[in-house]
Amino acid sequence: MKPTTATRVFALAAALLLTGSSPAAAQEFQWPDEPENLEVLPDTLGPDGLRRTMGHFTEALGVRCSYCHVGEEGAPLSEYDFASDDNDHKQAARVMLRMVEAINSEHLEQLEHEHQGEGHAQAGYTLPADREVNCITCHRGTDRPAMIEDVLAGVIERDGVGAAVKRYEQLREEYYGSFAYDFTVGPLSELARNLATRGQTDAAVRMAELEVKHHQESYRAHFVLAQMLDQAGDRERAVESIQRALDLAPDEARSFLQRQLERIRGG
């Protein structure tokens, strides 16, 4: 791997190590001059480069040393077997890092080359000079990167919509304000529409209601709830929701919402 990419991509594992032990234990631990069993990381990182690399890993995935390495959570770092390959997450990390390197060294360079033509330049399409993906690009502080709507769709399929509502509230409590999940208006509405197209109208209504609960001043959230209620056959509540959307909507959206209100009233 290129040193720059490797440093940014692997930097997360060092923080894992430091956050997994007490300050005293972290001070006692000596980062090796010649780490063992490196298959993807360059052997030129040195102790400081390895520490920074591991630190970036923990930040990007929101995990600690024991997630990828053989060792007991909270134990001194000196007791970890960092060279061991017995942790499956370590093997998966190597695959992901090779994928990241391929994206940065092959695919992004190809994209940059193909979009340097005169037409693209005139259109204002340029790639950032420092364009590069790394772990945090997708993981955003979680060990398994997924959009909030995909997480909830899986919970609905396995455990039902009630469990999905609870899971959303848990994730919102834990991650709100970070960039791990999108808690703005939109994802729950999109999930509601997808559920409705599959005939899961009750679940669609619940997701739209959850959107309204957390975005009561969003006319879009109220409009989507009205759509879901209308599909569920609850015309009275659908009218109430779209009227609320009208109260909140900007002028440019009011004529459209008015037509939708008349349609729902007319059956």
Q: For the segment 130-179, what is each residue's pLDDT rounded down to a tens digit?
A: 678 889 888 988 888 899 999 999 999 999 999 999 999 999 999 999 98
Closest C-alpha to 53, from 99, 86, 8: 8
* Domain final residue pick, 116, 144, 172: 144
* Domain final residue pick, 144, 170, 205: 144
214 by Cβ neighbours in 10 Å (0-12 / 13-18 / 19+) ranks as: middle
pTM (2 decimals)?
Answer: 0.74
Tell me phi and psi for residue 70, to 5 degrees.
-85, 110
* Domain final residue pick, 144, 160, 181: 144
Question: CA-CA distance, 196 to 206, in Å (whole number)?
Answer: 11
Tell me: do 102 and 219 sit in the same domain. no
Tell me: do 82 and 167 sit in the same domain. no
Q: How many domains does the chain have?
A: 2
Tell me: do 140 and 159 sit in the same domain. no
Question: CA-CA distance, 66 to 74, in Å (whole number)?
Answer: 9
Tell me: do 179 and 109 sit in the same domain. no
pLDDT at 244: 97
pLDDT at 120 over 70: no
- The 3-state DSSP class for residue 54 equals helix
Tokens for 246, please give them. 């009208």
Question: CA-CA distance, 181 to 171, in Å (whole number)?
Answer: 8
Closest C-alpha to 7, from 35, 61, 44: 44
pLDDT at 116 over 60: no
Beta strands in the chain (DSSP E): none
- The mean of the pLDDT values for the chain is 84
Q: What is the pLDDT of residues 15-37, one digit of tens each?
A: 333 444 444 444 578 888 888 88
